[in-house]
Structure 1
Amino acid sequence: MKKGKLLGSVGVLTAATLTLVACGKSNTKSNEGAKTASKFPIQTPVKTAKQGGTLKVAEVTNTPFTGVFNEELQMDQPSADVTSPGQESLFDTDDHYKINDKGPATLKLDRKAKTATITIKKGVKWSDGKQVTAKDVEFAYEIIANKATKSQRYATQFNIINGMSDYHEGKSKTISGIEMPDGPNGRVAILHCKELKPGMYYSGNGYIWEMAAPYHYLKNIPFSKLESSDEIRKKPLFFGPYQVKNVVRGQSVTWVPNKYYWRGKPKLDKIVYQVVSPNSASQAIKSHKFDITRVTNSQWKQVKDTKKVNFIAQIPLAYSYLAFKVGKWDAKKSKNVMNPHAKMGNKSLRQAMAYAMNTDDVYKHYTDGLSFQIPTLIPEPFGDYFDKSAKGYTYNIKKANQILDKAGFKKKGKWRTNPNGKPLTINLLAMSGNAIQQPIIQNYIQQWNKIGLNVKLVGGRLTEFNSFYDKVQNDDPKVDLFLAGWNLSTEPSQEQMYSEGTMSNYSRFVTPENTKLIQEMDSQKAFDHKYRVQKFHEWQKYMIDQAYVVPTKNDYRIDAVNSKITGYSLKPSQTNNGHQLWYKVGYAK
């Protein structure tokens, strides 16, 4: 699972970080936790906040954060989380994620002229006091599109902007489709596009990048060295409410107010993000070690009676999934290429493995229903884009065996062979997490063993988060399938995750039908909402049938917040880039 960013979402993708699978033991298959969480508020009680105070926030993860403090290069959720006090998107939204004029910049779309005009407000300044400029908008696109940065954010989706493809391929030194009518130091950037898309009115659409990067601060660093530079790792600039005071690499970040913040002085004197192991999270909540801590769902029963905290909850735009590796990323051509001889290329094998997973029982057992199986790759919070009729892959061992028998995967002793009679060993990559991650993964392996499939963990054990994504992104040949997850963009276009031209399509599947459906859901016809909904439903049915990527679960996201805190909210209009708008958070008077 990645925002996990892969994170997150505001910009392109909220990409995809893995939300670590969280589970703990209970003896019942219960939904009591989910029933409770469904009644929790989405924000803290509204009170007047006083000036001052230090806020301590737990970053619940079992691995150090990578510490890439730049949205264009950042792909892991923990880094996105700890960056959030400074990171601010160019645009604010309403509670339906529609972009409005209340943020640092405004967006004007002209379908006839095929332009998107971004105008930065006067007084929106970097934490060194410099005005955010049109060049800073353009520079963010350059970081993403220049191959030397190796940004995972680039997708052919961006080629909708004129000249983007030529820049990405090194045929041009500038992006011809980005116009700065008042010059690089002006506040207006006009994107000249091949066409406008229906999602462009909403945050997270993947066509319009919603961040800016400080050109004056980073311009002398070669693109190839940008990610490792001190300016990105230790002393980053932001135009959000807070600025970095200190970084303990991989462990903590201390933030203090950005005195140039355009909305005025934030409430707090200091925000400290500190990494905490998932196994220690419940104790941290009960001992009030932090002011804000994400609840590890498997530990819910341990923390639910804690006094002096407000539990804030939502079902986020996110999901975990099982993906089958069927190809590779071709960096030269910037596209995914399927391998016609891939071990996991047989649809029957993929479908059988999906039916053999007892996902619903597992998460009822370990999380009291706070994590729950989902049927499709478009989660229910997306409203009518979600296909309510989709059944997905519910647990059915008998059906799994029948599918394998019919497809010619015959048993030879304990294990099934390939249809050609050769032995079949399947290598699973799974991420380490909290104490009950191991038994959950072993459970799935046992389920696959029951249908005669010899499934083994890559390296014989669970893999640490950063190493896991290195193997997934670089198409490690030892990996046949993997369990991961996304935090999603707030606009449901699938171009940025599952198209031929996005690195984030980690399964590497490419089919004419998938390409056609993804293009149709973002086409000019899709300005008609009914048509767009229809295409989303068709795509979900297709993806369920093909089973290249099979959704497993979503989770209630519950935060334990010090009862003295006000201004903390998970409402879309009160968040930015998928994170809290920290300037509003403070201690109540």
Structure 2
Amino acid sequence: MLTRSTSLAAAGGLLASLALAACSGGGGTASDGGSGGGAGGGTVAQLTFPAEVQGAVGGLGNFNPYSPNPLTTFWLYEPLIIKNGLTCQETPWLANSAEWKDDKTLVITLRDGVKWSDGQPFTAKDVAFTFNLMKQYPGMDKAGVWTDTFGAPAQSVTAEGNTVTMSFSGNAAAKYDEIIKQKMLPEHVYAKVGDPTKYIDKKPVSTGPYKLASFNGRRLVLERRPEYWQADKVKVQKIVQEGQYDASQAALKLRAGELDAYWGEVPNPEKTFVSANKKTNHFYYAPNGMTVLTGNLQKKPFDDAKFREAISYAMDKEAMSLKATYGVMKPASQTGLKLPSMEKLLPDTYKGKDTVLPYDTAKANQLLDAAGYAKGADGKRTLPDGSPLAVNFSVQAGFIDYQAIADVIAKGMNEVGVATKVTASAPESVDDQKKTGDFQVLLEYLHGGCELARNIGAKLSSKQFPSAKEILPNVGRFSDPSVDATVAALSQATDEATQRTEVGKLVDVMMTKYPVTSLIYAPTRLIYRTDKATGWPSEQDPYANPSDDRLLVLTRLTAPK
């Protein structure tokens, strides 16, 4: 989601503080620096990134991937398979494959030749050990392997040769994405440490591309492992992580070349960073999900799908993008999918069509008229029964992007005769409204990850209504038994064809019943320099989620030609 703490005033101050430095711009365009890397390029001596944890956890050097705050989560311990956060395509990593023998049995086949950083071989026993440790210490089981969360619990995890077999008491297909991304631990180290969530791992033994060179409580230095199983793809010899920076500090350090990449928010990156030197300075904000308009579907007028459809055309998404993201993030597809990266999941009905709802007040007025929301002499519409129609839009005070979007929406709705006012309340108050259902309409985030049963599916499932104690995904209280059946089928699907069929049904619900209205994509960010390394993902080469898929990105980085 967009960062909430940055105010427009602060952004303006940042622009002003950097204005003097902008006169040193070089030639070229933003497209010069994105792609072009690969395994065949030259070596990169060093890249400097921000620290991954705040204040280096008081100087404590803990590399345990299952601790609350490991010093690094990307460069040491590795997953079995990487599922691309943009395209959802899988890249075999420590495992060559993970396949369902049936809906209760997952068979994982490991690659040969992988060694831990202390020279011992990585084996199937290490994988089985890691998952069985989650049973012994439930606090480690973030994937829900041994619980009934999203599928049946595991009954056993066993290793034989280079194969690991995970057997479940019932259908466990929905656990797959979490299982493949768990970080593998060395049995010969972690079998001796007791509760792994409490263990302080100061001398990591891992399978990843780097090993610990030094950590002084503030500055972490990682060195490339020449014996790494795919060392030929790793050209960056050293990674240095140091310091936590706010937007202003990060922009200044990036411009000065003291940082090579930054994954936080910098307001208006085109002006604050890229304009200083278009040859070396770039950014890529990829869609990570989308901001959506959510009405309370148990109250008038949002209980009427025809009303929801009509007002969806009164929303100027280009204006929202400009005011909330400086025009960086694009209007979002009403399908609920990140497009074009998830285009292969689109049902044939919508392929090749523009699924972003246009800003069309004439159509909005026409649909409202046809649905019985008559406009009076004062230009205000009434409900079909003739009673007054007034909408109160709840928005979190201090969420400047949400407030900017809400203002644009309210303006559009008022223009088509739907009397709308925006009420800003403390974020905790809006959270309470989500729990109790005491609201008319608000803004939310629809995650665009690959676990679609948990994302778009949960947004539409009647089993995911919020409770008095917990905010669950279906804040709007959309309910349809056939949709519940679709979500259940999707969560249990073990083959791509079935998954695509069930996703297609959810897409059709989004496009015809408007349970929520998609507005603009929300970003996952990368702001980077190309004077030391090229091959970063970019608008021209969107090959990976720039924040989550850092291991994939690493294998594409190489020295500039």
What's the TM-score, normalizing by structure 2? Answer: 0.65
CA distance in 1, matches of 2:330, 2:206: 37
Match of 1:286 in 2: 255
Q: 1:343–1:518: structure 2 CA closer, same or farther, 3 Å change rule?
A: same
Letter in 2 for 1:134: A
2:48 is aligned with 1:84 = no
1:432 aligns with 2:399: yes
Deviates further, 256-265 or 352-361: 256-265
Equivalent pairs: percent with the same residue?
A: 14
Q: CA RMSD in A?
A: 5.8
Cα offset, 1:136, TM superposition: 0.8
Aligned to 1:191: 166
Residue in structure 2 matched with residue 56 of structure 1 by the alignment? 49
- 1:135-159: CA deviations, max 9, x gaps? 213445887xx5x789698999965
Kindly provide the amino acid, as one letter, of the partner of residue 510 in structure 2.
M
The alignment partner of 1:517 has SS state of: helix
| Cα displacement (A) at 1:315 | 7.1
* SS in structure 2 of the partner of residue 541 of structure 1: helix
Tell me if the contact between 1:429 and 1:482 (Cα under 8 Å) persists in the aligned partners: no
1:168 — aligned with what? none
Provide the residue aligned with 1:106 in structure 2.
96
Structure with larger Rg: 2
Matched, 1:118 2:76: no
After superposition, the Cα gap between the structure-2 partners of 1:498 and 1:39, relative to the gap in structure 1 and judged at 3 Å, is: farther
For residue 206 of structure 1, what is the aligned residue in structure 2?
177
- Where does residue 552 of structure 1 map in the other structure? 519
Structure 2, unaligned stretches of length 5 or more? 16-28, 465-470
Aligned counterpart, 1:240: 208
Alpha-carbon contact 1:57-1:290 (below 8 Å) kept: yes
Whichever residue aligns with residue 158 of structure 2, its letter is: M
Q: Please state whether the residue corresponding to 2:130 is helix, strand or coil.
A: helix
Go from structure 1 to structure 2 and tell me whether the alpha carbon gap of 1:553 and 1:496 turns closer, same or farther (over 3 Å shift): closer
Give the conservation status (yes or no) of the 8 Å contact 2:76–2:207.
yes
What is the SS of the residue equivalent to 1:135?
A: helix
Distance 2:550 2:248 in 1: 24
Deviation at 1:180, TM superposition (A): 0.9
Residue number in structure 2 paired with 1:498: 457
Which residue is equivalent to 1:443?
Answer: 408
Q: Secondary structure at the match of 2:177?
A: coil
Matched, 1:359 2:337: no
Could you state the TM-score of these two structures normalised by the residue count of structure 1? 0.63
Closer, same or farther: CA 392–566 of 1 in aligned 2, 3 Å: closer
What is the alpha-carbon distance in structure 1 between the residues aligned to residue 41 and residue 389 of structure 2? 68
Aligned-partner residue type, residue 396 of structure 1: D
> Deviation per CA, 1:130-188, whole angstroms, max 9, x where unpaired?
95431213445887xx5x7896989999654xx51xxxxxxxxxx31x33145xxx974
Q: Tell me how far 1:287 sits from its aligned partner.
A: 2.9
Distance 1:253 1:342 in 2: 56
1:151 and 1:473 mapped to 2: Cα distance? 29
| Higher RCO, Cα 8 Å, sep 6+ | 1
Structure 1 gaps of 5+ residues are 3-16, 27-35, 165-174, 327-338
Query: 3-state DSSP class of the match of 1:286?
Result: helix
Q: Secondary structure at the match of 1:360?
A: helix
Aligned to 1:458: 425
Equivalent of 1:41 in 34, 37, 60: 34
Structure 2 partner of 1:394: 358
Q: Aligned partner of 2:270: which letter?
A: W
How many correspondences in the alignment? 499
Find 2:481's aligned residue among 512, 522, 530. 512
Indicate if the aligned counterparts of 1:72 and 1:140 stay in contact, CA closer than 8 A: no
Compute the displacement of 1:70 (Å). Answer: 8.5
With over 3 angstroms needed to count, the CA separation of the structure-2 counterparts of 1:588 and 1:526, relative to structure 1, is: closer
Partners of 2:219 and 2:390 lie apart in 1 by 50
C-alpha distance in 2 between matches for 1:536 and 1:368: 32
Aligned partner of residue 513 in structure 1, secondary structure: helix
> Residue 120 of structure 1: CA displacement?
4.5
Q: Which residue of 2 aligns with 1:179?
A: 157
Distance 2:453 2:378 in 1: 42
How far apart are 1:453 and its partner, in Å? 1.7
Paired position in structure 2 for 1:13? none
1:168-217 Cα shifts (integer Å, max 9, x gaps): xxxxxxx31x33145xxx974312355696xx9xxx96374421364837
Give runs of aligned pairs for residues 222-237 of structure 1, distance below 5 A: 231=200
Is 1:306 the counterpart of 2:272 in the alignment?
A: no
What does the per-residue CA deviation read over 1:335-373, in whole Å, with 9 as the maximum and x for residues that have no partner?
xxxx85699545455445533321123425776753221
- Residue 134 in structure 1 maps to residue 128 in structure 2: yes
Aligned counterpart, 2:26: none
Change (3 A) 1:303 1:111: same
8 Å contact 1:127–1:258 — kept in the other structure? no
* Residue 552 (structure 1) shift: 1.7
Alignment match of 1:540 (pick from 507, 525, 538): 507
CA distance in 2, matches of 1:380, 1:120: 32
**Match for residue 529 of structure 2?**
561
Cα displacement string for residues 455-495 of structure 1 (whole angstroms, at most 9, x for unaligned residues)? 31222xxx5xxx79x94998376666544446633x47444
Quote the Cα distance in structure 1 between the aligned partners of 2:411 and 2:357.
Answer: 18
**Aligned residue number for residue 7 of structure 1:** none
**8 Å contact 2:46–2:239 — kept in the other structure?**
yes
Q: Secondary structure at the match of 1:88?
A: coil
